[in-house]
A and B are shown apart, each in its own frame.
Chain A
Amino acid sequence: MINFWLVMILIGVLTFATRISFIVMLDRWQTPTVIRRALRFVPVSVLTAIFVPELLMPAGAIDISGNNLRVFAGILAMLVAWKTRSVGWTIVAGMAALLLMQWFV
């Protein structure tokens, strides 16, 4: 689909523009402090806004019943991420928990 290629190329160009932005123009423009401070919260806010609905509303509506195994696996993964700070272990623990529960429940 042509449309999607266009989307991809535009995002690529915009991403490259943010990456090169200050490398080429640092001398000319000082970042306003508020933007500098705001940027720090971008990854945490965006990523959390993505994964929380994935856990709480896997079928598109809020499901916090015992049937929603992703909530339990997600909480376990958060504990593992907190203790190990490792992407690998967090994925292994969360997937293992989900698959085991799917098997036995």
Chain B
Amino acid sequence: MWREFLSGVRGELPILVGVVPFGMIYGILALGAGMSATEAQAMSAIVFAGSAQFMLVQLVELGTPALVMILTGFVINLRHALYSASIAPYTRHLSLPWKTIVAYLLTDEAYAVVITYFRKGSEYKHRHWYFLGAGLALWSSWQISSAVGIFLGARVPPEWSLDFTLALTFIALVIPALEDRPSVLAAIAAGVAAVLAFGLPYKLGLLVAALVGIVVGLWGESR
């Protein structure tokens, strides 16, 4: 049991190298956008999803209406349903409390590590402890690195252009994911649409652009 837990923690370690700076930047940007330290830290615990949190920070700074923030957060996090579907066969035997805990911990970074381990075909009955280990390792580094960023936040002058790290982080996540023609088409379409639709009211341009990207991606795949 504990062996599984610890190997989960170990499996997650390489990923944490990229996650920790990401969390710190989140904390810094959240304060820069005008959120309080409590709000910023609470968001890391309640939402617990890096890209959505960055997005929300951006939307707070732009003064976006609440409904658009909620819709955007929901759309960005919809991909977790895909992870949920892919992990479900391995969690079927678990109790509801266990399912609840692993679902809360189901982030991009935990999913990537856990599904690789599960697919290796370990039939060990305590393997959900691996999930818990990987998930908690990520969870605690995310909370601590956000806190460090929040602590540093007030001390960072605007000339450092730290807000640019947001765009850079997204570039770093998108470019390696462009593995086939449909995803390249989706990205190009979403980017062009985002610029064209930027002027739409309530920052709806983002949702429109995301939908355009998804539709073009599907179209590219079906050809």
A interface residues with partner B (beta carbon < 8 Å): 3-12, 14-16, 18-24, 26-27, 31, 34, 36-57, 60, 62, 70, 73-74, 77-78, 81-82, 85-88, 90-91, 94-95, 98-99, 102
On chain B, the residues within 8 Å of A86 by CB distance are 18, 172
Whether the Cβ atoms of B80 and A18 lie closer than 8 Å is yes
Q: Which residues from A are CB-within-8-Å of B102? A: 23
- Residues of B contacting A34 in the complex (Cβ-Cβ under 8 angstroms): 218
Q: A42-B78, A81-B172, A94-B165 are in contact. List 11 more A-B contacts (CB 8 A).
A: A41-B213, A43-B173, A47-B170, A48-B190, A49-B193, A50-B58, A51-B171, A55-B167, A85-B175, A87-B21, A91-B165
- In the complex, the answer to whether A19 meets B198 with C-beta atoms within 8 Å is no
- Interface residue from B47, B171, B210 paired with A45 (Cβ < 8 Å): B210
Q: Does B154 belong to the interface (CB within 8 Å)?
A: no
Rounded to whole Å, the gap between the CB of B148 and the closest CB of chain A is 16
A74 touches B84 (CB 8 A): no
Which label, helix, strand, loop or mixed, suits the secondary structure of the A interface? Answer: helix
Residues of B within 8 A of A73 (CB): 164
Asked, given contacts A11-B69, A47-B173, whether A20 binds B195 with beta carbons under 8 Å apart, the answer is no
Query: A8, B42: Cβ atoms under 8 Å?
Result: yes
User: CB within 8 A of B51: which of A12, A43, A52, A70?
Assistant: A43
